Chains A and B, each alone.
Chain A
């Protein structure tokens, strides 16, 4: 029953013919602009309708997909950036209260005047992209087959605030090693999905899309693509999904690789106390919990409330992500030392255009508190620790958690966004580790 407030607000009612239109658009494989008359539910009289980006409905078919963001959406973004309203400046001289105002304004100025979304859109459209419905949800993925028939299929899963864009520079070296300093027997077939609620995957409309469900869906995806022998890789949430796949042991999954392994010391503490190396990592965890976990706390408890500001302010959405590029990448203070501004804006713009602030935060609501516990695994596990990441566990924790830890390497350069920051090193890690699995 509507309360007094809702009666006065006159929220618009959905148009039932919209669904049929979307299915038709979906069959042609093109997502794009919809006329005002078919716009989704929004506040009465919203001018946003024409600029919204809507996905075609997915089916159990694997349907080719291309990205065509309406120009109106790009124009709207620029206009919002031009009308940005700023908070006052931080009262410190570093990043300890968050993104400094001068850095924020500089990023927005670049985004508004020099950044070109159409470049990365064109890059994406040069790759084989698809959508398919799994467990009721449309899943977007890139699928590039190697010309080498015996290539090892690999599933790469991103995290937050990342995306499939983190892997753009590693696809070709993985798929076509001989053109990139490698050998034919190091080739991979590459599958790169967007997590539910991220990028061009659907946003779940029901609760329950936690890590175990995503892992299940990924196994269905690989089976649907005809792969009966494959490996999976991930960092951040991708490490969570990949670890759950290893735990579920779907038919075909031979081994996994993690660049941010979900590792904690097994209880209880050893009789002699923790080693110096372990204490360093415990300090990293302590610091994360006390100083760097605010974003996860709010995303894990109130993703919808947080989502309003981030969905409505591209500046807000950008800084919410940019802060992590600075905090988690391997840099000496400036994130641009580790990741180019254009690459950061590719990722940020993807979140903005797909309006995935709330839906991506919902993954924390589903899984952050529950599904990141220490997980002993029997499946073969490879680990690459990129030393610039914010969490660098010691090998002894890996030995104690993974009964078949077949590869452990500490990479001196690169951080949380390993593939994006150090594509060559990342590729080398996958070639080296999975050489043992082919």
Chain B
């Protein structure tokens, strides 16, 4: 059995057959292009084969991983962007029918002419990344150990249309606080996985990967990394997974923090307070105006996958719309997130062909009954940061009713759904403050 150090850094395997070659490629930390002869099954005669990005098969070893998107894939993306065929413009003067044509064309032109994937690839590869097989699926994760020995292990889970990208700016400050104006006592060991079907994790080939199964996989991951006392954090589907972890209470999990709180009373109050009224109205607004994408993902993830897998512009705008709708901005997503950062995230979806597989998380969880706004009563010690432009902000009283061990609640005045992405400093501070009381 590999020791602590080997698990965390990986040891190359001998080069013998293709399977071992793949393991070796994984072990040397480079995932990349395979020749057409070794390419995975794809549409007969598809010219796409050479440009596809293929993940090395994961094993139960924790294998170092680096991204190297084939140049053919970058060239193919540029060709597609250059030949985008556009619909006519919207008939309204705002975003109420979706991304306005002018904004869409501007984003695509920037992606095609100015955006630099390799810069992002290098930034991501500067983090220690790994893949390991858990419950039959290869899971990608960033793992940064703090230089401070008593750091608290923390697993951060992203959602849709997010990714590990959302956390890149906070990994350093959380794991090495003294370098970023913080205190050693606030240090964390950081684990940031990609959800099944997202980015560099495998895409499930069978049903069943709902938030409960993901939570169990995350608990296994923390155990694999030898953490026996740890905390979990999440937003969006990451909050779904984190609430599931809280319910499961795996060995080692001592507390959880969420920036979207799945709290909704079973019976609506007869005379809601203003805060309750706001929350009820937001939930209603989400259901009536905001959830078209949700219903399509939840019922026909494969069908919506076809345009998004084949059209880079389509994939980009499907995501860009949410950067406008769900961030704390003055009308434009660029008020809240840098264009390059948004395109980092979008490019990740594009290069890993994750449109359908990421949509499937909605299908899985709707089937399992986890598509709603409430996860009920949670005994595990819970912490919450409520960002004002989150889709749904429950009042503290609702949390107190369902979370008997609520130990941290803070309502901020800046930030939205992509909290860590939009407000890395604030978010970092929130996690430091929240978990101070949980340190041994």
Contacts and interface: CB of A to CB of B under 8 A. Distances in A.
Contacts of A310: 87, 307, 314
Given A5-B339, A6-B102, A6-B106, A305 B321 contact: yes
Contacts of A63: none
A126 to B, nearest CB: 29
Contact of B357 (A88, A292, A323): A88
Interface string B156-178: 00000000000000000000000
Contacts of A203: 88
Given A301-B289, A302-B292, A316 B302 contact: no
B315 A11 contact: no
B318 interface: yes
A311 interface: yes
A252 interface: no
Interface stretch (A42-50, A240-248, A258-266): A42-50
Contacts of B116: none
Contact of A309 (B89, B317, B332): B317
Contacts of A70: none
A362 B308 contact: no
Nearest to A291: B299
Interface stretch (A78-86, A180-188, A400-408, A426-434): A78-86
Interface string A9-44: 111000000000000000000000000000000111
A44 B112 CA distance: 11
Interface string A393-436: 00000000000000000000000000000000000000000000
A303 B98 contact: yes
A109 interface: yes
A359 B92 CA distance: 12
Contacts of B103: 5-6
A362 B304 CA distance: 18
Given A308-B311, A309-B318, A43 B108 contact: yes
A303 B303 contact: no
Main SS class of interface, A:
helix
Contacts of B86: 42-43, 46, 48, 308, 311-312, 355
Contacts of B311: 308-309, 312-313, 316
Contact of A316 (B109, B203, B314): B314
A101 B296 contact: no
A104 interface: yes
B301 A99 contact: no
Given A9-B105, A91-B206, A297-B296, A83 B306 contact: no
Interface stretch (A160-168, A204-212, A341-349): A204-212
B97 A309 contact: no
Q: How large is the interface on B (under 10, 10 to 19, 20 to 34, 35 or more residues)?
A: 35 or more
A302 B95 CA distance: 9
A313 B110 contact: no
Contacts of B306: 86-87, 99, 104, 313, 315-316, 318-320
B44 interface: yes
Interface residues of A, number: 75
Interface stretch (B77-85, B223-231, B247-255, B390-398): B77-85
A305 B310 contact: no
A379 interface: no
Contact of A294 (B82, B289, B295, B309): B295
A89 B205 contact: yes
Contacts of A108: 43
A46 B104 CA distance: 14
Nearest to A105: B43
Given A8-B110, A86-B43, A307-B98, A319 B303 contact: yes
Between A88, A204, A320, A323, the greatest number of chain B beta carbons within 10 A of the residue's beta carbon is seen for A88
B205 A87 contact: no
B405 interface: no
A308 B104 contact: yes
A305 B87 CA distance: 10
B380 to A, nearest CB: 30
B305 interface: yes
B3 interface: no
A261 B60 CA distance: 58
Contacts of B104: 308
Contacts of B206: 91
B114 interface: yes
Contacts of B30: none
Contacts of A362: 91, 97
Contacts of B321: 302, 305
Contacts of B302: 87, 90, 97-101
Contacts of B299: 291-294
B268 interface: no
B334 interface: yes
A300 interface: yes
B17 interface: no
Interface in A135-163: none
A309 B307 contact: yes
Contacts of A294: 292, 295-300, 304
B86 to A, nearest CB: 6
Contacts of B84: 43, 46, 48, 312
Interface of A: 3-6, 8-11, 42-48, 82-92, 97-101, 104-105, 108-109, 203-207, 291-295, 297-313, 315-320, 323, 355, 357-359, 362, 365
Given A294-B292, A308-B104, 8 more contacts: A83-B47, A85-B309, A86-B48, A87-B353, A294-B296, A311-B85, A318-B306, A362-B97
Interface of B: 42-44, 46-48, 82-92, 97-110, 113-114, 203-207, 289-293, 295-311, 313-318, 321, 332, 334, 339, 353, 355-357, 360, 363
12 contacts: A47-B83, A88-B356, A90-B301, A109-B44, A204-B91, A308-B311, A312-B84, A312-B86, A312-B310, A313-B310, A316-B311, A320-B303
